[in-house]
Structures are given as structure tokens and as C-alpha cells.
Structure 1
Amino acid sequence: MRKAGVLLTTALLAGCGGSEQSRDRVLGRVDAALLTSGGTGADWPMTGYNYSEQRFSPLTQVNAGNVGKLGLAWFADMPDARGQEATPVVVDGRLYVTGPWSKVFAYDAASGQKLWEFDPGVDKAKGVQACCDVVNRGVAAWKGRVYVGTIDGRLIALDAGTGKQDWSVQTTDNSKPYTITGAPRVVKDMVIIGNGGAEFGVRGYVTAYDAATGTKKWRFYTVPNPSGAKDGEASDAAMAKVAPTWSKNGEWKTSGGGGTVWDSIVYDAELDQLYLGVGNGSPWNHGLRSEGQGDNLFLSSIVALKPDTGQYVWHYQETPGETWDFTATQPINLATLNIGGSPRKVLMQAPKNGFFYVVDRMNGKLINAGQFIPGVNWASGYDMKTGRPIENPAARFYKTGKPFLALPSAIAAHNWQPMAFNPNVGLAFIPAQIVGSAYLNPSSPLDAAKPLGFNVGQDLGNAMYPRDAATVKAAIAGATGRLVAWDPVANKARWTVDYPTPWNGGTMTTAGNLVFQGTALGEFRAYAADTGRQLFAYPVGTGVMAGAATYQVGGVQYVAVLAGRGGALPLSIGYAIGKARDVPNVPRLLVFKLGGTAKLPPSPQPDTAPVTLPTATGTPQQVAQGQALYGRYCQVCHGASAGGGGVLPNLQRSANLGNPDGWHAVLIDGALKDNGMVSFAKVLTPEQAQLIRLYVLDEAHWAQKNLAEAPTAGGKVPARTGVR
């Protein structure tokens, strides 16, 4: 990996080269005027359509009266069967989209012909520091270039016409577990980018770079410097004011405190303000992070800045003293609403914690906060005078010393999947879900910070599913999804659509009275925006998570969406995605038009036949030790209770369960490091690696006996030895 200084020098030289003319011919008209208005709808010029990020298109050729005639126009298979989370950007008949490992692809938007692709060559070992899959949510376009952030922390400018790199700058310290998964935004000839990594231990910030050269313009840190020193950055004045909201000691002094801005960065062209959605604390546990003291600003907050300088304007904190991974990084929509008989410039957000917020953009004051899923139990509501939540004391598990079964959980009432707002019907469309989980205080030295794995200050092992078939099946049945049409003025749902599984796709809406959304079970759907009546469903043969885009070429309207599963829920929870585990994971870009006649090939079917398992030889003590180790280091990628989520290999079906040497080669020697499965020798002894194998083997036997519909192949099932 080249040093940032070398990259920047190369960038400065490249930025002065002779390719400006070619750049002007492609995407040359993507400027502030286009991104402010979004244009006529012929283009989808940025990830949220325009600076208001409503994901609302004025196109009406495809509408509630004819959407049932949509057919597939073309499709393109993508190379990596990991999480597909990007929204395409489309300008002048060219479609740009990203995939896992930060790869970029350009297509002719009408024919599907691939124009170019760019692979930044990310070291696959970086995947172990990506909390929620090696995903990327898209590019930004500006004056002849497209920009992408990479999972290893680079910001790269590409020539829109050729895909050749113009410049690259390292935005993070690569010795620390920073990542980038979000789409950049371009404002006033500056590219704005944040980062992730709070689950592992970093300090969050957002940086602005010159769009032509990659030169750094300003940086804003979202939490105070643990050393107490000034950073010499735009955030210094704000950090001096928020420092008293943090404890004098606590783990934030070594972890960095978190507060990463891993997704939502929104520019308000009307007020000339930049809004940052700030993430969770590091570690999650407020009792450890800040000794249970203070609101810990700007965690779980929306922060307004002056875009020219990065100076602080105002903030609103949604979850003071955040301790549940309740980020405020979810998509933000800007609008003007008639509230109380007066027009109000507002921003709207439905973050992880289950409340829908309407905030005055002028001053950051809370206008509304309503529960958009049933059963929210960490707080009963908000005090509208103070803007603070009315908390359930039991939710502060580090104070009570008792586990707290929370709804929502860290998986969220609404995660990264895009939310859309249709100003014609006055509704926001939230891809919501109901998924609970337990929060527990650390119970052993194993839960302390380690150089690999999540460092969240909780007992992750005992938060896995209990070894009880009825409880596991109830947890699966209780994890569901919901499309919520929310009225931000009335502060209530206008209509809802229930899904049998969580982790469904983001939403997009149009002036044709339509809302588009993909499902985890493999359909791409359209609903009437005003009533929620389903008007269209197309079987795509794989789960859909991403949000769609729509555009027009040659007088024809198209609708494009990425399909393919991955991300936090399928990786970490496994069983909770229910029937979606058996849906094939086929990464594809799908493009529809009225009367489209293209056909998809049959999807490969996953191997769900029972496997012959070796006889379990672990003692109850060994299995219990292996369970604790698995929960600490493995479940966030391979699923709670080793259940698998249909994305990464299901360890219950591993050929190495009966092969101690093969298991050692993977976990200790790093035999699969080129696939992203690095060696865990930094945190595991060879003996501990084998304890994990014995636990997974025992879990596989129990699951075959208690959860599988088909009988186990290969004879008698040994008795359960694990202890829960």
C-alpha cells in the first residue's frame, strides 16, 4: 500500500494532465445546478437523486396504471456474491454502479453494454475489519469524474469516460480498523467522505477534498480527542464545547470513542448547510465507554456544518448516552412541510432506534418523533420540550446488571437501506423491520478489547440463541419486515405492508404514484404510493437489499436495481432471516422497462440436503468454551449459533468439522486469507481453534435434530452436549 503522500502527489500530477477534454465530454454537465434540481428525471445524477435526497423522480411514463406491464430490459451479472448495496447513478445514458470490494462498473444505460470496470485492488484481509460485509453504496458524479470510497479507506477519482484513475488519496490511518462503505457526496467542488470502524475502535470524522486534485480542504471530528489536545481542524471549537459530555476516564480514551459517519452526508442547497448523520459509540457499552456518564456528543446525532469551512452550526442528538448501537447514520430526506399552518424546512430520518424524527433545519429543534415499528421498548417516547427520549430504566443494562431484551436491536428498526419521500402524497417510505436481541454486560476477560473481532463491551457469546428449539423457532418467526408509509406531519403511519422476513430492500418513489422495493425473498415490487396497493411483482431469483433508480433514455423510462444479499443481518444473525437463508444469492444488476422481454437464467439452488456429520467428541466443558470463543470472534460473520445466513459459508456444513488439521489451516495458518478469512492466531491458540470446531460440530448436530425438516443423513444423532 502506497503512502497517502505519494498517492496525493500522483493525484496532483494526474489532475493537471491532458484528460480534462475527455472528462468534459462525459458527465461534464453534472454540477451544482443539476444536483440541486435533479433535472427533468432523465438522469439519476446522485445516489439520492438530488441534494434533497428524497429518492423521488418526476418521471411518469411508468405509473400506477401501467406498472404491471414492466418487464426485464437487460441484466448484468456481478462478480462478487457479497452484499449489493449501491444505488446506480445515471447521467447522459451512462449508468455507474459499485459492488463489493469497492469495484466500479459503467454500462450503457439503454442496452446494458459494459463500458468499463475499475477494481481498486483492495487487500481481502481488510474484510475482517468491515463490521457488516465488504459493501459499497455507490459513486458520486461531478464535472467529468466519478468518485468512490474504498473499503481500505481510499477516496478515488475516475475519469467518467474511461474509468481510468485520475487521483487517489488515503483518507484514513491504515494501521487502524477504518473502512469506507458509504457513497461520497460532492458539494461546491469538494468531495465529502466519512468512514466506519466504531465496532473495532476508532474515532470518527468527515473530510472534504478538492474534487479536481484530491487536496484536503477541511476535516470535522465528531467526538473529542481522547488526548485532550486540539486537532488543528474545523471541529476544534465544537469539540471544546462537547468535551464535558464525556467522562474524564473510560474506554473511549483508548478506543477513540466512535462516532463514525459511515453513510448519511446530506447537503442543503437552500440553507447552504451540510448534515452529518453520526454513528454509535466505541465501545457500544456506555458504562465502559464513558463510565456511564454524559450524553457523549456527537454520538447518535445529526450535526449541521458550514460546507465551505466545516464549521459547526447546530446539532440534534437522537439517543443521548448511546449504548445500543443506535446510529443516526441512516438516510436523511430534506423537505418543506406544512406544519401547524406554516411551511417548515425540515429534515426527516428513521434511524436504528425505532423513532421517526422531523427536525427543523433552521435550528436543529425537534418537531416530531413517533414510533414507526411496534414494540419499541428502550424508550416510550420523547419529551417535546427538551427533545430527549423518555427512557425505560431497564434498558441501561450496565446499570441494572441484568440482560435487556431490546426492540429494536443493533440490527435496527431501519438500517442503511434507503428511505424515500414522495412530496406529492406527503409520505416517507421506510424499509423497516422488527428484530430483537439481548444486551449483556461483559462476563469474562474474553469480552475485553482484542486486536481482532468486535470490541463493543458486551458478552456476545451469551447473546446468541438459547439451545431450545421452541425459543429459536419463535425468534425466527418473530423477526419480520415491514414497509411503512409514514406521514411526517400527522406523525403516524398511513399504511403498511408486512413481510415474513426482515432485511428487505430500500425504497424509491416517483410522480407516477409508485413506490419500488425489493424483498429478501426474491421479488422486485411496486406499490401505489397513496394507498399501498401492490401493483407489480417480478421474481428476480435472489434477495434484494439495495434501493432502485429510474431514468429515461430515448424517450423510454427504465428502472434499475442491484440484487443480491449480504450485510449485517445475514452475516451476524443467521437464523433470524428465516426463509431468506434458502434464497439463492445471485449478484445482478437488473433493469426494467415497459414491455421488456429479457429473461433471467434459472437461479442455482443452495444445497440444503442434510450432511453426514462426524461424531461429536467434545465434552460439555469444551463445547461451552468453544461457544464463548465462537460468540466473541466468529458470529458477526458466520451467524449467531453458527447458523449461517446464506452469504458466507455455513460452518455447520463445513468439511473441516471432522478435519482438525484443515480447521487449523484456516483459523490459525490463514489458508483462506485471499478470500478474506484471515488467520486468527493473534487472538486464538491452536487449542482454542479446536474448541470452536467442537462447538460448531455440536451445534450442527443439535440443529439437525431440532430445526431441520429433513432427517439427518448418516445414522444416529448424538445427544446434545452444549450448555446454554
Structure 2
Amino acid sequence: MRKILTFAMALFVSMAGTSFANDELATMIDDPNQWVIQTGDYKNQRYSKLDQINKDNVGDLQVAWTFSTGVLRGHEGSPLVIGDTMYVHTPFPNIVYALDLANDGKIIWKYEPKQDPDVIPVMCCDTVNRGVAYAEGKIFLHQADTTVVALNAETGAVEWSVKNGDAAIGETNTATVLPVKDKVIVGISGGEFGVRGHVTAYNIADGSLAWRAYSMGPDEDILIDPEKTTHLGKPVGADSGTNTWEGDQWKIGGGTTWGWYSYDAEENLVYYGTGNPSTWNPAQRPGDNRWSMTIMARDVDTGVARWFYQMTPHDEWDYDGINEMILTEQEIDGVERKLLTHFDRNGLGYTMDRVTGELLVAEKFDPKVNWTTGVDMDPNSETYGRPAVVAQYSTEQNGEDVNSTNICPAALGSKDQQPAAYSPETELFYVPTNHVCMDYEPFRVSYTAGQPYVGATLAMYPAGDSHGGMGNFIAWDNKEGKIAWSIPEQFSVWSGALATAGDIVFYGTLEGYLKAVDAKTGDLLYEFKTPSGIIGNVMTYTSDGKQYVGILSGIGGWAGIGLAAGLTNPNDGLGAVGGYAALSDYTALGGQLTVFKLPD
């Protein structure tokens, strides 16, 4: 019945007009019994109000059922639950299953796109996909080959499709999409191929183009008002997207947008980050390389930017800025503020005023970070908001063909795209992290469309100190910029976290464990080893009045690329193969959804 009512409501509101349709989707997101969006809600908090499973009984969890996806390689993202239907996705070839939760998980429909396998070698760091999205009776899938498809949620039939990029020049996709208002927001991958990043809004009704905003280029391309769009409170000025590049190198400048998106309905702003500048050899691209490595706040209706903040000007280490922006309302110095918290690849945790772009906190969330001594927080300083680079760990100052050693973090960052969670009960952020360092040797490289445009050789290895192995799962205070507690893990924590009203936090490990810990103390309450390493994101829902927890397992992603792609050269996978070679002693390839519940 709930499924019927859900689709009936979707049909009604789509006929009634856009604004009501927006209210319908927001109402569904607010229902904790469903999991309607990959990030849990528009604020990217990944918090569930469900508390049937709590810290007192989570130790009794048992496997309720499992589902094999039929695909090996890395399984990122999570299923969606809309009414009584679960939607499960896979890595390439990006199969989507609709499962009937009221009928023993029966497959209602299966969508399997026919994509050119030549896209596989163009995809950096595995053939992952971070999941589907739902709005107005449609399931949205952004395929590896950049085709955006709207599927009928009841039948799986294609209602419209549009090509968002060109794999022949290195443009691919690994990310999910964000349905908001009457649009669906999508990004692009391919920074390692000299792709110029952009974010695009398509109209939900028919897939027509609403707007496209590039990461760098002329003002009209990056959709800014030079006098009104700000950076740290000051207008960016004319030509900000070209005047820190040499010549026209911005045309192959990277800044791709393969991460997560969040949305503030009151401000009508969408927030996201841009990736590394191309190439990885910093000597070949003098200047700050704006607007790569940047947090962006844009108007959903027009795409015009309100503010930018560039975290790592003139990146020298591949510290993509694409990780999620988590939106909260918290009190600072006695004043309630609308905040944005971001855990960057560069190892710094940022807290900002998301209305104005004011920088409030920038602190290391891994104590091993050594490439910078910290960010200048003096608004009157000429270097306000910039990180101070330590010369020893500057890959450009050390020179081309020079191997800079023991740089922390490694290129995959103190945290990659694996999303953190936030609990409004504890006001803590729960962050899956990497505790990994690297050697980095840049070399000169030329650009050829569709060919790798990297220009660096990397080696990765554990940080090697008292803080554990290659990862930690931490609780973070975003107002103080401090770690509240930390759980060491043998390998990087590459799973998205989930916080719940049951005072527990879930996450997965690369060995394949689903773990539940106390939200206040970090004490381990439950663990279960799934068939393959976990790089997926934990989600929860109810069915027939019972709460369930679901996780996709299937080793892969950047950390697991050696296993996923059968690579053995330590320098392959941009250095990750050697760094994570020991993973093969603990897990193997797989592709499975595991769902947990309390005993009847």
C-alpha cells in the first residue's frame, strides 16, 4: 500500500507543478522509514531518526537477507528504498535492480545499459558508481560513459537520456546525481585526462539543459558575477577563472566535479567541491589555478555562484576538493549559524558560514599531516585563508624528476570521497579517514586528448606511527577543530558512515567488516565480516515495521584497485597498488548487498 501511495503522490504532484513536486520529495526525504537519497538528506548529514536498533541491542544484529549484484569490482554508494521498493546499483556496466521488499526481495525489473567497454581504461581508480537517485517517479542513473538516464521507477523503462560528456577525451562518471527542485544536478570525472570540470543542471521533466557551470574559464563559462561572487568576503573580480593560469591551459585544467552535492532550500544554494588541476606536475601550470580545489556555492535556478573558497591553491599533491559538504545549524559564540563542514583530501577539516563563505575553522583532522603548518586565519593578512606550505614537502620546489618523500597525506588524502556522518544529538562528525603517506616524483608530460595527463609517479605506504595502521575512524568537533575520539584500523576506512538516533554509528572496513560503535565514546558494539571488502555506504530503513541496516560490499575503489583490476606493479593505480598490497590477505572480489535486522 505504501508503495502505491508513494507513486500516486509522485504522479499527482508532477501534474500539479514544480513547487509542489519539490515539497513531495522533501517530505519523502524527511521520512526515516525510507532512504530516498544517497546522502540521507539534502544536508549530507547521513543521520537517521530510526532508533529501533540502538546501542543496547545492536550487538544482537543478525543477517536478514543478502543479494548478489552479479558484478565484481568496487561497490560504492548504497541502495535506495522508496516505499516497499529497493533500488540497487552496480559498478560498470551500471546495472540497476528494483527489488520488492514486500515479496521476499523479488526482482521487479532490471536495467542493464549497453556501454562501450573502452570507457573502462579511461576511468581513474576503478569502475565504481556512487548510486542512483529518485524524484518525481523517476530513478536517475549517471552511467560510466556519462549518459544520464531517467528510468520509470515502477517499470524501469527509459523516459529520457542525455549525454553529459565524451569518453573519447577522458570524460567519464563515477558519481551519483542530486535531484533538487525541477532539476537534476550532475558532475563529471576525468581530471587525470585534462578534462575541464563542470557541473550541469538538467530539467527533470525531459532532460533538457538548464545550465552548465565550468570550474575555470571566462566569467560567462564559470557563471559568476565578478562584483557579487566572493572569495573570503571579497569580490573575485573579472577573469578570475583564467588570470591565474598560464595562457589557455585552463582549457585542460581539471577541476572535475565527481564528488557529493548538498542543498540549502532556504538559501536556494547547492554546494560542492572541485578537483585537482591538470597536470599533476605543478611546474607545468604556474599560478593558483583557480577554481580548482574549490568549495562552490551556486544558485540552483541559474547556476550563478554566490561564493567560492579555494582550499589548496596551486595544488602540488592531487588533493582533490570534491569531498562532501555537510550542512548544520549550530551555535558558535552564542550565535546560531548556518554552517558547512568539509573534510578535505588535504587533511584539513573546514568549518564555514555557508551563507557568506566566511572561514571559521581550518584544522588538521589527521595529526600526521605535514605538507602544511596550517591555514592563515587572520582576515587582515595578505595570505588569509591560504595554507602555509612546508618547503620540504613541496613537489614543485623540490623540482621535476625529484622524488619528494614522506609527504602526508598521500594523494588519496586524509579522506577521499567516502562520506562522513553527523549526529545532531552529539554534535559530532563521524569521519572515515586514511592514515597514509607518499613519495611523489613529478615529470614533464604533454597533453593528448583521451590519453592520461598525470605527470607524476607515486608510492604510498602507512603513516607509521602510534595512531594505528592505514586508517582511523574519528569523531570530530567542527567548532573546536578537534578529534573527540579515534579508532585505529589496519587499512583505510573507505566506507561511508551512518549515525542514528539509537546512539550508534555504523561504518565498514576494507577487510569487509560492518561495525557499530557508540556515538559518544567510540566503543565497539558489533561487527560482522561480509564476503568482500566494504567501500559502500551504510544505510537504514524500515519494512513491515522493522528497522533494517544495509551495506554493499565489493572491494575496489582507489584503495582496492589492485584487487579489483588484477594489478601487481606497486606504482600502478597511481601508487595505491603497492600501498594496499596486503589487502589480498584479508578479502577477495565480490559484489553483495547484506541486510541486517534484530532477531524476531
TM interval, shorter chain, is 0.7 to 0.9
Counterpart mapping for 1:557-572 below 5 A:
557-571=547-561, 572=573
2: CA distance, partners of 1:350 / 1:177: 27
Q: Which residue of 2 aligns with 1:549?
A: 539
* 1:105-141 deviations in Å (ceiling 9; x for gaps): 2112353222211111111110111011111101110
Shift in alpha-carbon separation, 1:24–1:240, aligned structure 2, 3 A: farther
Q: Which residue of 2 aligns with 1:615?
A: none
1:230 Cα deviation after fit: 5.3
Aligned AA (1:594): L
Point out where structure 2 has 5 or more consecutive residues left out of the alignment: 15-20, 230-236, 379-383, 562-572
Indicate yes or no: 2:256 matched with 1:265: no
Shift in alpha-carbon separation, 1:452–1:202, aligned structure 2, 3 A: closer
Q: Which residue of 2 aligns with 1:66?
A: 57
1: CA distance, partners of 2:212 / 2:372: 34
Indicate yes or no: 2:524 matched with 1:520: no
2: CA distance, partners of 1:157 / 1:548: 25
2: CA distance, partners of 1:299 / 1:161: 40
SS of corresponding position for 1:562: strand
Identity in percent: 33
Q: Which residue of 1 aligns with 2:280?
A: 284
Indicate yes or no: 2:290 matched with 1:297: yes
Q: Which residue of 1 aligns with 2:143?
A: 150
2: CA distance, partners of 1:88 / 1:241: 42
Indicate yes or no: 2:533 matched with 1:533: no
> Which of 308, 311, 316 is matched with 1:323 structurally?
316
* 1:59-93 deviations in Å (ceiling 9; x for gaps): 01001111111111111001111110022211102
Larger strand share, 1 or 2: 2
2:217, 2:242 within 8 Å by CA — same for their partners in 1? no
* 1:408-428 deviations in Å (ceiling 9; x for gaps): 111111011111111110111
> Which of 568, 579, 584 is matched with 1:581 structurally?
584
Indicate yes or no: 2:98 matched with 1:106: yes
2: CA distance, partners of 1:258 / 1:248: 14
2:493, 2:508 within 8 Å by CA — same for their partners in 1? no
1: CA distance, partners of 2:468 / 2:425: 34
1:23, 1:159 within 8 Å by CA — same for their partners in 2? no
1: CA distance, partners of 2:415 / 2:261: 17
* 1:199-228 deviations in Å (ceiling 9; x for gaps): 011111111111010010111011115xxx
1:400 Cα deviation after fit: 2.6
SS of corresponding position for 1:242: coil
**Greater relative contact order, per chain length (Cα 8 Å cut-off, separation 6+):** 2
2: CA distance, partners of 1:404 / 1:185: 39
SS of corresponding position for 2:37: coil
1:247 Cα deviation after fit: 2.8
Q: Which residue of 1 aligns with 2:567?
A: none
> Which of 35, 47, 50 is matched with 1:56 structurally?
47
2:6, 2:83 within 8 Å by CA — same for their partners in 1? no
TM (normalized to structure 2)? 0.88
2:342, 2:351 within 8 Å by CA — same for their partners in 1? yes
> Which of 476, 481, 486 is matched with 1:491 structurally?
481
2: CA distance, partners of 1:364 / 1:235: 15
Shift in alpha-carbon separation, 1:172–1:374, aligned structure 2, 3 A: same
2: CA distance, partners of 1:53 / 1:285: 33
RMSD between superposed Cα atoms in Å: 2.5
2:332, 2:479 within 8 Å by CA — same for their partners in 1? yes
SS of corresponding position for 1:494: strand
Shift in alpha-carbon separation, 1:394–1:206, aligned structure 2, 3 A: same
149-158 or 28-37, larger mean C-alpha shift: 28-37
1:203, 1:223 within 8 Å by CA — same for their partners in 2? yes
Aligned AA (1:104): V
Counterpart mapping for 1:448-527 below 5 A:
448-449=446-447, 454-458=452-456, 460=457, 463-464=458-459, 480-527=470-517
Larger helix share, 1 or 2: 1
1:26 Cα deviation after fit: 8.2
Q: Which residue of 2 aligns with 1:378?
A: 371
Q: How many residues in Structure 1 have an aligned counterpart in Structure 2?
A: 555
1: CA distance, partners of 2:490 / 2:398: 34
Aligned AA (1:569): A
> Which of 75, 86, 104 is matched with 1:95 structurally?
86
2:472, 2:493 within 8 Å by CA — same for their partners in 1? no
Bigger radius of gyration among the two? 1
Q: Which residue of 2 aligns with 1:191?
A: 184
1: CA distance, partners of 2:549 / 2:462: 39
1:24 Cα deviation after fit: 3.9
1: CA distance, partners of 2:359 / 2:539: 31
Shift in alpha-carbon separation, 1:171–1:104, aligned structure 2, 3 A: same
Shift in alpha-carbon separation, 1:435–1:245, aligned structure 2, 3 A: farther
Shift in alpha-carbon separation, 1:440–1:107, aligned structure 2, 3 A: same
2: CA distance, partners of 1:224 / 1:272: 24
1: CA distance, partners of 2:214 / 2:450: 25
1:452 Cα deviation after fit: 6.3
Aligned AA (2:351): V
* 1:431-467 deviations in Å (ceiling 9; x for gaps): 1011111221317xxx444566531222x2xx448xx
Shift in alpha-carbon separation, 1:569–1:315, aligned structure 2, 3 A: same
Point out where structure 1 has 5 or more consecutive residues left out of the alignment: 1-20, 466-470, 597-724
Indicate yes or no: 2:341 matched with 1:338: no
SS of corresponding position for 1:397: coil
Q: Which residue of 1 aligns with 2:566?
A: none
